[in-house]
A and B are shown apart, each in its own frame.
Chain A
Amino acid sequence: MKIREIQMLLDAELLCGEDNLDGEVFSACCSDMMSDVLAYVKDQGVLLTGLVNAQTIRTASMMDMVCVVFVRDKAPDEEMIRLARECGIVLMRSKMRAYEAAGQLYLAGLRGNAGGSHG
């Protein structure tokens, strides 16, 4: 699934990374606990989260994730956007709740962990 499609499906506002919207995403993860995100390696994944702090972006960067979507209309600050830009991560925000956002992507064919769970 292309990042552009995720933006459409979640009716999301793009915050940074406009040049990478045609990038491919192969798996998704939805959590507010960053250690849970760090426990399973995803292949070019997208992170759906309601957690808004610098560690959200660092976690995504450590996991080589390509896109982070903030749910429940949460807004990151300028520093977080700068950090995401530096890491080449596409950042978006959606008014949807996490459950609904995850459901939309799942219905459209994006699964949880295409790449297996071993680090």
Chain B
Amino acid sequence: MAEPLHLHFAVDGQDFSSAGQASVTVKKRLRQLGFSPEVMRRVSIAMYEGEINMVIHAHGGEADVYISDTEIVIVLSDRGPGIKDVALAMQAGYSTAREEIRALGFGAGMGLPNMKKYTDEMQIDTKIGVGTTVLMKVRVKP
């Protein structure tokens, strides 16, 4: 690919059952483009956790994915409440999710740690009352 391929998604914050649709679409696209199962899995899991986070905490947001031969960049941005303490949020097991979210199978405090685990690079820009942007990169080994 000469130019990175850009995919854009609006993530609906109202409907929990549809959360993850963008990640499923990205995984399909990566498969069509011939990426390895490992790359597909890492990208889609990291993005999926991010998508779920946006739905749980920020009433949805926007997802942009840039695909090139050497790396896949995922940018998730929302206008939610922001993250008070990023270091704390990064700790496995820490969560501010409500009890009803836990009943849906999420809110175990593994979202951000999983996103970091499956990507090569992760940056979080957050401002209280303004929103959060998470940028993740997965490098493609030649």
Contacts and interface: CB of A to CB of B under 8 A. Distances in A.
Interface of A: 32-36, 38-39, 41, 51, 53-56, 58-59, 61-64, 79, 119
Contacts of A79: 17
Contacts of A39: 110, 113-114, 117
B20 A55 contact: yes
Interface residues of B, number: 30
A88 B42 CA distance: 20
Contacts of B41: 41, 62-64, 119
B79 interface: no
Contact of A38 (B17, B37, B110): B110
Nearest to A61: B24
A78 B43 CA distance: 28
Contacts of A38: 45, 48-49, 110, 114
A14 B19 CA distance: 26
A32 B114 CA distance: 17
Contacts of A119: 38, 41-42, 45, 117-118
Given A55-B52, A119-B117, 11 more contacts: A33-B106, A33-B108, A33-B110, A34-B106, A35-B49, A35-B109, A53-B105, A58-B20, A58-B48, A62-B44, A62-B45
B114 A55 contact: no
A50 to B, nearest CB: 10
Contacts of B114: 35, 38-39
